[in-house]
Amino acid sequence: MKIRDFQLERYFAKYEFNVKHLLSPSDCETRPVGEILGLPGGEWRERLNSLPLSYTESRGNPGIIGALDAIYGVGNDGIVVGCPEELIFLFMNSFLDAGDRVVCLSPAYQSLYELPRSIGCEVVLWKLTASGGRWSLDRDELKPLLKDRTKLLVVNFPHNPTGYMPTPEEFDMIGDLAEGSGAVVFSDEMYRGLELDAPRLPSFCGRENAVIMSGLSKGPGLPGLRTGWLASKRHGLISSVLAMKDYTTICNSGPGEVLAEAAIRNIDELMERNRTILRANAELAGKFFAGRPDLIEWIPPAGGTTAFPRLLDGNIEDLCRRAVGEKSLMVLPDSVFDAKDNRFRVGMGRLNFPEALGLFGELLEG
Ligand SMILES: Cc1ncc(COP(=O)(O)O)c(C=O)c1O
């Protein structure tokens, strides 16, 4: 298999652990292992201490599957647990064939369109546009895009990096159009539950023709657990992923699954603390950027942890280089999203966001 470098992940690999501050992370504030083991709902510490380090069940620990089924209601056979990025890889590779038509919203987290391309699919982009102070997806564009027996529509709401969310009516329309055309929807719901200025949308897995992907990396702030899941009413799509997983990780880490189950059984509480941090940071970011209208075009995010403002004065690549060199601050330029609009990603999920924003302010003024 040949695949283009994942530009965002290569950028993070270069800077994430070599600079002091990050303006553009997409996760929320994390927690130490001790705190997760102290969560209610099970004897997590004892379970971890006495856990045999044997192989685990390929689909995922039955306790986790049961907790997820209580959330999604698709039946145990409709769920598989794995690393989020691995699950995107496995779904795309088990479902798609060379020549299939795939419609993917754009910009997007690269694996959502790069994996279909690497398989030899015809990938058509459904573009988000910024105008009148808001992001939008043109609903009239979708119907013609879903022509010619499109096999898969890929969406991601709340959206990384823009923070865009459709209205509930638009969301239903997207689902209806996909269903009418016979396309399956792959709905990346990593940021669901992190709504800022929009109502929470239902999960796409309530529909017959969809697979959803979510996990513990963003809202719960536990990316180091490498735990996510797919859920679908179409059990055959999940069993194909399960069969292919035998060629990647086979099964999940046992100790990781104890921590993941503790987190999933307390997911609302974990997310609520991070929603509070996110809301405060989003308000700060709104005031900061709105106060600099000559330098930055700011579109407030409707949900998720990120926003995608545009630098109006100067070149964003130069500014990102200066941020690293002068402030030890990582700022993600839009080129890593295959965009060339002089934008950058702002990530508002962590407690130290005000510090990173302050440094960015010094850079803009300097
Ligand atoms: C939209 C989206 N999907 C999937 C992922 C992958 O999650 P993970 O890094 O936990 O594998 C990310 C990570 O940034 C993401 O932003």
Q: Residue 258 belongs to a domain with what CATH number?
A: 3.40.640.10
Give 92-144 pLDDT, tens digit per residue: 999 999 999 999 999 999 999 999 999 999 999 999 999 999 999 998 999 99
Q: Which pLDDT score is estimated for 218? A: 98
Residue after which a domain boundary falls, among 239, 267, 295: 267
Q: Look at residue 1 in the predicted model and tell me its pLDDT.
A: 85
Q: Is the pLDDT of residue 177 over 90?
A: yes
pLDDT band at residue 247 under the 50/70/90 scheme:
very high
Taking 90 as the threshold, does the pLDDT of residue 281 lie above it? yes
* Domain span holding position 302: 7-32+268-365
Give the model's pLDDT for residue 254. 98
CB distance 27 to ligand 1 below 6 Å: no
Ligand 1 contact, 107 CB (< 6 A): no
CA distance linking residue 114 with residue 97, whole number of Å: 14
Q: Give percent of the chain above pLDDT 70.
A: 100
Residue 41 maps to a domain: no
Q: Are residues 288 and 196 in the same domain?
A: no
Average confidence (pLDDT) over 218-245: 98
CATH number at residue 330: 3.90.1150.10
Beta strand 101-106 pairing with 122-131: parallel
Looking at this protein, which amino acid is placed at residue 360?
F
pTM for this predicted structure: 0.98
State yes or no: pLDDT of 366 exceeds 90: no
Percent share of the chain, pLDDT over 90? 98
Mean pLDDT of the chain: 97
Q: What is the pLDDT of residue 203?
A: 98
Cβ atoms within 10 Å, residue 236: 10
Q: What pLDDT shows up at residue 52?
A: 98
Spacing of C-alpha 256 from chain mean position: 20
Q: Is 84 in the pocket of ligand 1 (CB under 6 A)?
A: yes
Distance (Å, whole) CA 318 – CA 97: 40
Atom of ligand 1 nearest to the CA of 84: 11
Report how far residue 132's alpha carbon sits from residue 332's, in angstroms, rounded to the nearest whole number. Answer: 24
Out of 248, 267, 286, a domain closes at 267
44 part of a folded domain: no
* Strand residues in the chain grouped as ranges (E): 21-22, 79-82, 101-106, 122-131, 134-137, 152-156, 184-188, 210-215, 228-232, 296-297, 306-307, 310-311, 329-330, 332-333, 344-347
43 within a domain of the structure (yes/no): no
- Number of domains into which the chain is organized: 2
Rounded to an integer, what distance in angstroms lies between the CA atom of residue 307 and that of residue 159?
9
Q: Are residues 289 and 214 in the same domain?
A: no
Q: Tell how far the Cα of 111 is from the centroid of ligand 1, in angstroms.
A: 9
Report the distance separating Cα 52 and Cα 38, nearest Å: 20
Contact 55, 224 (CB under 8 A): no
Mean pLDDT of 317-333: 98
SS3 at position 237? helix
Chain segment 350-360, per-residue pLDDT in tens = 999 999 999 99
186 and 173 together in one domain? yes
Running DSSP on this structure, what letter comes out for residue 343? B
Ligand 1 near 109 CB (within 6 A): yes
Same domain flag for 284 and 355: yes
Residues 259, 279, single domain; the answer is: no
Please calculate the CA angle 293-311-7 and round it to the nearest 5 degrees.
150
In a domain, residue 230? The reply is yes
Mean pLDDT score, 22-36: 98
In sequence order, the β-bridge partners of residue 123 are 102
DSSP string, 244-287: HHTTTTSS--HHHHHHHHHHHHTHHHHHHHHHHHHHHHHHHHHH
Note the pLDDT of residue 148.
Answer: 80
**How far is the centre of ligand 1, averaged over its atoms, from the C-alpha of 145 (Å)?**
25
Task: Indicate if 235 and 361 belong to the same structural domain.
Answer: no
> Is residue 209 located within the same domain as residue 329?
no
Give the model's pLDDT for residue 14.
Answer: 97
Q: Which atom of ligand 1 is nearest to the CA of 88?
A: 4
Considering the domain architecture, whether residues 173 and 232 belong to the same structural domain is answered as: yes
Task: Mark whether 132 and 277 lie in a shared domain.
Answer: no
Q: Does ligand 1 lie within 6 Å of residue 215's CB atom?
A: yes
Q: Of ligand 1's atoms, which has the minimum distance to the CA of residue 26?
A: 14
Regarding whether 143 and 284 lie in a shared domain, the answer is no
- Tokens, residue 283: 């308000």
- Cα angle 80, 195, 157 (rounded to 5 degrees) comes to 50
Please indicate whether residue 26, judged by its CB atom, sits closer than 6 Å to ligand 1.
yes
